[in-house]
Chains A and B, each alone.
Chain A
């Protein structure tokens, strides 16, 4: 497969997943503003979202001090100046898909292109007719359609592994960042830990990940920080947990290694396997002892290094 095709497939997967993350962030924000408990009004919550997604400064350049729901929605969903907005990601995924049309089934292209065309229609709608739920629904619905088309129609070949590698690495990254929002930003004051508010916020994270019901199936009973963190980090049944995402990344990298044989370097595969082993060597208590934020920082760094190795192994076009 052409290196450029592989890179585009990989990034198509990443952008599709990233679009969903933006929508989920928006959802977290919207739900948190419904809480009657903050000291500085809504402003603080929205700001924490920006901080979590690492775009506080660029947002300020475009909207100044106007941190309110409408501007955040514009920024996270519609704004093309924000490279991680839903609109940017869908456009980039569709553009990437267009470049690799030869590697996509018509059903996948159709799903991608439909998302893009409907996004254009959505832009034309008056903003007062659009609520946040509609935007999140739009994104997750189209995300599911594209993923479904990929699963149902694409060949299980190297291209398949590249798309899914993109999805899984991005998902690992996104779940860690969402967790980081909760622990590092939303609840900075230690006396809240274990309070009703704390638990409510954990529930918000679960809902944002569409994992609320799955969590109850898996653990039952009360929502506690330990259980939620365990569910989102170490539970191999949880579809968006760090463990599952990384496991899938390893599985896809193994698939490539197996197909390509020994003549093709597999540093990414080796690194991902190492990180997976390191993750599996922990339990939730050790992670809390280590400090959740420090743990997440380590993990996000590992994902970055694996991505770079994928680039060197497969996309660089070595002789």
Chain B
């Protein structure tokens, strides 16, 4: 049985009490009208999500579910502590593996997993970014399987996306149902952009003079997350730049403005490492800034997240995060990992190959719900085919049990029905580690589906933390 976030032994749980009345007294036609209103608001604001390679509507909306997902403050405080702890450990790990590699010397993580990892960035070895922070925005995907059972599904240390949905979902809910907000004590999330700006400013390099100039670097308006990039730049009150707006001169980065060149101190980049600097990485990249990495390494500019941060959110490294918490912080991890079999270990390999039909298998570097096998939902042929793929390159895969993801009541045609959800809170790391009370709840809209990715037909919900 799946844990139902609203009901426990047939009773409505306290955080949902008020919502339960709200649903029951809302006539169907009003609900449909509100749904249409929400969609038109999203479309008018222009929050759309383009999916690469599908050729479909580039202005596709992510389905929005009006039924919020609710946490009690007490539940949230526990999660919050766990998330911050994990974000601190991940940053300590990154600091360590790009310098002395103590955790490897201590035999707690195999050297090969780190140094031969695709995301390990040799060009920043020995370099310590300002305040020792590599990953400034850590998106941690969390699933729930029981009242007190939360598990981390994966860590996103590079450029986790979706925070604009957290903010816009809230905005739209407040606009459509002001009454709900008057009668519930819902903690606000709209301080996020200000916190983000403060976090980014706090990691300005030592050479920065005066108030740091922060920019958001986007690949451009064809990118699926462009809306989010412009949205964040807007709310932070900083420039949204493309690679071609920046250039390097005399050890600093400048942007081209109508009043001539202006120095840039902190770049919140939303493009991947290989595209940052054609002189250092991919020569064919048109998105980056030639010479950027030299400036970065000489302390002329800060880049968030730091190049190389990806080595911490690899699915192979993931299994060691609880170990990192113990090693660097001397604490017991507050959030658990999902049990994970790593296929480069012989015992794990044997077990997984014998039990494919019960397991979820993922590519180590995959994302967005691509390149994975969901054993219980797959046909015999699919399982056999995936078995071949694994055999050819076992090191490329991990396996996990199919989790009994909790369900949250969600509006479907017939009314409310349970659908599986996960949660992505966004933890900010600068001179302080901070988290707004909320996150992005993603919901698998298809009945029975466990895949919540927006590229796989998932939707989103507002996420509430109630003050008590």
A binds B: yes
Chain A residues packing against B (C-beta within 8 Å)? 1-6, 95, 98-99, 101-102, 106, 109-110, 113-114, 117, 158, 256, 260, 263-264, 314-315, 317-319
Going nearest first, the 10 A-B pairs with the smallest beta carbon separation are A317-B256, A101-B230, A314-B258, A3-B256, A102-B234, A6-B258, A102-B240, A1-B258, A102-B233, A99-B221
The interface residues of chain A lying within 8 Å CB-to-CB of B247 are 317
Q: How far is the CA of A98 from the CA of B242 in the complex (A)?
A: 14
Do A264 and B259 have beta carbons less than 8 Å apart?
yes
Do B44 and A319 have beta carbons less than 8 Å apart?
no
Q: How far is the CA of A314 from the CA of B256 in the complex (A)?
A: 10
The interface residues of chain B lying within 8 Å CB-to-CB of A102 are 230, 233-234, 239-240
CB of B106 within 8 Å of the partner chain: no
The interface residues of chain A lying within 8 Å CB-to-CB of B244 are 4
The interface residues of chain A lying within 8 Å CB-to-CB of B241 are 2, 4
CB of B45 within 8 Å of the partner chain: yes
Partner pick for A4 among B46, B227, B245, CB 8 A cutoff: B245
B364–chain A nearest beta-carbon distance, Å: 36
Q: How far is the CA of A311 from the CA of B103 in the complex (A)?
A: 55
Q: How far is the CA of A315 from the CA of B244 in the complex (A)?
A: 12
Given contacts A106-B45, A113-B46, contact A3 B221 (CB under 8 A): no
CB of B255 within 8 Å of the partner chain: yes
Do B221 and A2 have beta carbons less than 8 Å apart?
no
The interface residues of chain A lying within 8 Å CB-to-CB of B242 are 4
Interface residues in B215-259 by Cβ distance below 8 A to A read 220-221, 226-227, 230-231, 233-234, 239-242, 244-245, 247, 249, 254-259
CB of B43 within 8 Å of the partner chain: yes
Q: How far is the CA of A102 from the CA of B255 in the complex (A)?
A: 16
Chain B residues packing against A (C-beta within 8 Å)? 43-46, 220-221, 226-227, 230-231, 233-234, 239-242, 244-245, 247, 249, 254-261
Given contacts A2-B241, A102-B233, A102-B239, contact A264 B260 (CB under 8 A): yes
Do A95 and B258 have beta carbons less than 8 Å apart?
no
Do B221 and A319 have beta carbons less than 8 Å apart?
no
Partner pick for B234 among A1, A101, A113, CB 8 A cutoff: A101
Q: How far is the CA of A110 from the CA of B45 in the complex (A)?
A: 7
Partner pick for A101 among B44, B46, B254, B255, CB 8 A cutoff: B46
Q: How far is the CA of A2 from the CA of B239 in the complex (A)?
A: 8
Instruction: Name 17 interchain pairs, CB-CB below 8 A, sorted by A.
Output: A2-B239, A2-B257, A3-B245, A3-B256, A4-B241, A98-B46, A98-B221, A99-B220, A101-B227, A102-B233, A102-B239, A117-B43, A317-B245, A317-B256, A318-B260, A319-B254, A319-B261
Do B256 and A2 have beta carbons less than 8 Å apart?
yes
The interface residues of chain B lying within 8 Å CB-to-CB of A95 are 221
The interface residues of chain B lying within 8 Å CB-to-CB of A114 are 44
Beta-carbon nearest neighbor of A313 in chain B: B258
B398–chain A nearest beta-carbon distance, Å: 39
Do B234 and A3 have beta carbons less than 8 Å apart?
no
Q: How far is the CA of A318 from the CA of B258 in the complex (A)?
A: 9
Known: A6-B258, A264-B258, A317-B247. 18 other contacts (CB 8 A): A1-B257, A2-B241, A2-B255, A3-B256, A4-B244, A95-B221, A101-B227, A101-B231, A101-B234, A106-B45, A109-B46, A113-B43, A113-B44, A260-B258, A260-B259, A317-B245, A319-B260, A319-B261
A207–chain B nearest beta-carbon distance, Å: 34
B363–chain A nearest beta-carbon distance, Å: 33
Q: How far is the CA of A95 from the CA of B58 in the complex (A)?
A: 13
The interface residues of chain A lying within 8 Å CB-to-CB of B231 are 101
A273–chain B nearest beta-carbon distance, Å: 19
Partner pick for A3 among B46, B233, B240, B258, CB 8 A cutoff: B258
Beta-carbon nearest neighbor of B242 in chain A: A4
Partner pick for A110 among B44, B233, B254, CB 8 A cutoff: B44
A96–chain B nearest beta-carbon distance, Å: 10
Q: How far is the CA of A95 from the CA of B222 in the complex (A)?
A: 10
The interface residues of chain B lying within 8 Å CB-to-CB of A263 are 259-260
Q: How far is the CA of A110 from the CA of B254 in the complex (A)?
A: 32
Q: How far is the CA of A318 from the CA of B257 in the complex (A)?
A: 8
Q: How far is the CA of A29 from the CA of B233 in the complex (A)?
A: 45
The interface residues of chain A lying within 8 Å CB-to-CB of B256 are 2-4, 317-318
Select the residue from A5, A158, A256 with max chain B CB neighbours within 10 A: A5
The interface residues of chain B lying within 8 Å CB-to-CB of A318 are 256, 260-261
